[in-house]
Amino acid sequence: MSPSRAAEPSASHRPDALVRFVDSSGPLGVAYEHRSRRRWLLPACARPRLLFALEPTLGHFTADGAAGAFAAEPTPLDSSQFVFVAAGTTVQVALTSPVSRTLVLEIHPPLVARCAESYVGEIDPTALDRMLTSSRVLPRTTWVHELAQRYLFERAVCRKRDNDATRFLETELLKELYFVAREQDASHTRTSFLAGRSPTLRRALAYLEARIFDEVDPIELAKHAGASPSSLRRAFRRELGTSPLAYVRARRLDEARVRLAHGRTSVSEVALAVGYRSIAAFSRAFHARFGVPPSSRS
């Protein structure tokens, strides 16, 4: 059966913490989680942090801290923005997607000092220190998005730390945080890297991500997107270069690759979890997308 028509997998195929990588050492600590729990807590910490949703749409969050609540009401959490969490702040996240990937970066004092030293004359150390005491939601610019993704790759995949690449990425991330926050304070907020996506596509992606393992009904999807099925297909082709069902199949295969790379689940279990009834069909689709068989655990 095609994965786009498969029923939702049972909870037994969706362990709460599918992948978890935590390394709080160094100037910028890393916590990456790939999970299926609908609610989770980011406890208060003695250091400020950056919170990134790695899915197009993840859910909502509320937050409260020593400096007061900056998100007392549910605030959207998706890949169009990132959240700066001041020290002493607790964040509660409610997910709308059955799978989620989040990245939390913990800012240590040596990085603050290095950034101020690297950008003497451009960054005001006093303003930087003040900025790090106030939680806020910021637009995720293209550069911030690329920096966060690359840093996650270097630390969690390559397991690199304290080399030229990671030091550059760490400094650039904090520098960008400073300038994006300063522009926000001056009401000159830059646009998100997702700003070019139409409202129709955003609604469709939110609907699909919340039901990524469910059977896809093109009529129902178009209804929630506020468009006709043909208009929605054109929007996907124009903005993503693919169709809605192909997007879903690709997302499910991406999910399969993460689960296989973790090494705790068999190929047959992963195939079933992402909607394939035939291991042969899953293997063909996996190889076509990634160029390797699922057994490679790549």
* pLDDT tens per residue across span 269-283: 889 888 888 999 999
Check residue 208 and give its pLDDT: 86
Share of the chain above pLDDT 70, in %: 87
CA nearest 31: which of 125, 103, 83, 86?
103
Whether residue 90 has pLDDT greater than 60: yes
- H or E segment at 76? strand 71-78
Check residue 18 and give its pLDDT: 64
Q: What is the pTM of this model?
A: 0.67
| Neighbour order of strands in the sheet with 89-95 | 39-42, 89-95, 57-65, 71-78
Q: Give the whole-angstrom CA distance, residue 110 versus residue 230.
A: 54
Check residue 142 and give its pLDDT: 82
* Residue pLDDT, tens place only, 12-40: 333 455 668 899 988 999 999 887 767 88
Check residue 273 and give its pLDDT: 84
pLDDT band at 78 (very low <50, low <70, confident <90, very high): confident
Mean pLDDT, the chain, rounded, equals 84
Tokens of 286: 């996996």
Q: Which domains does the chain have, with CATH numbers?
A: 11-185 (2.60.120.810), 195-296 (1.10.10.60)
